[in-house]
Amino acid sequence: MNNTITDTNFNFPNQKSVYKGKVREVYNINDEQLVMIATDRLSAFDVVMPKGIPYKGQILNQIATKMMKATEDLVPNWLVATPDPNVAVGHLCEPFKVEMVIRGYLSGHAAREYKAGKRMLCGVAMPEGMKENDKFPEPIITPATKAEMGNHDEDISREDILKRGIVSEEDYLVLEDYTRKLFQRGTEIAASRGLILVDTKYEFGKTKDGKIVLIDEIHTPDSSRYFYAEGYQERQDRGEAQKQLSKEFVRQWLISNDFQGLEGQTVPFMSDEYITSVSERYIELYENITGETFVKADVSNIQERIEKNVLAYLK
């Protein structure tokens, strides 16, 4: 399918290496800049689905870059330019090997752990008597170790991060501070759109001169969970599921088709109709999160378009 991009194999001037993540492909240019391409790959339960989702890469890249610009007064970030709808270019950073997950509500993974009887998550206590999707008294930070492609990210406590020397205490305090500030700003942006930012994750890196900066994506439907604010409390009071704006609808579809990324399970067949419906949901997410109409980029030949735009930028 020419109208999705699921793999790239570019050879840019001064290219040193390529790193392929679950969704993004990162080209190292001269050990100075990174060209990050958001593909249309869809990952759920840490498994990459067999088909791409039209416009998904563009949507993720454009939300992430808008949110970086909306938070750069609070936290420095890696971003320098966006030469193509699917591409972000930024400073080369050494990534921290933890994801800073922050949760304002008992949802998703936290709710599944809570249901299983656990009251501690990543060394943080969760209050008794909570229902799924209830708001925490204060947002909690529940970090995860960064997995290489294909492996599940693992919960880890602040104590273990420091004990194992994954991050120094001095740096970790900065990561926590930045995480809380970003989540507060993200919460305010979401509220202005009639949304609740439920939980999200941030990734950070260090530039060559030792500055800690925000990297990767921020406040996208892949890295975050959103609820609609209208009717939230009524749904909680009635014990109903919340109206979600996140990738959770894909996870729920997979669960209902007996797939959770466990050994021996196979990814269910995704029909063209289903793929189109996922694409439409992502466009809806974009428009709700940004408050802007989504403008579809020319997808007649995405590879050619990206290559041309990146080469023009690098010149």
Query: Taking a C-beta distance cutoff of 8 angstroms, is the pair 33, 90 a contact?
Result: yes
Q: Please tell me the pTM assigned to this model.
A: 0.90
Distances (CA, A) of 169 to 77, 88, 161, 181, 208: 21, 30, 9, 18, 20
Q: 95-245: CATH homologous superfamily?
A: ATP-grasp fold, B domain (3.30.470.20)
pLDDT tens for the chain, 315 residues: list them: 458 999 999 999 999 999 998 899 999 999 999 999 999 999 888 888 999 999 999 999 999 999 999 999 999 999 999 999 999 999 999 999 999 999 999 999 999 999 999 999 999 999 999 999 999 999 999 999 976 544 567 999 999 999 999 999 999 999 999 999 999 999 999 999 999 999 999 999 999 999 999 998 999 988 999 999 999 999 999 999 998 877 878 888 999 999 998 999 999 999 999 999 999 989 998 999 999 999 999 999 999 999 999 999 999
Beta strands across the sheet bearing 24-29: 15-20, 24-29, 33-38, 87-91, 79-84
* Confidence (pLDDT) at 150: 47
Residue from 7, 11, 4, 3 nearest 307 by CA: 11
Residue from 15, 20, 260 nearest 5 by CA: 20
Domains of the chain, by residue range, sit at 95-245
d(CA 195, CA 26): 31
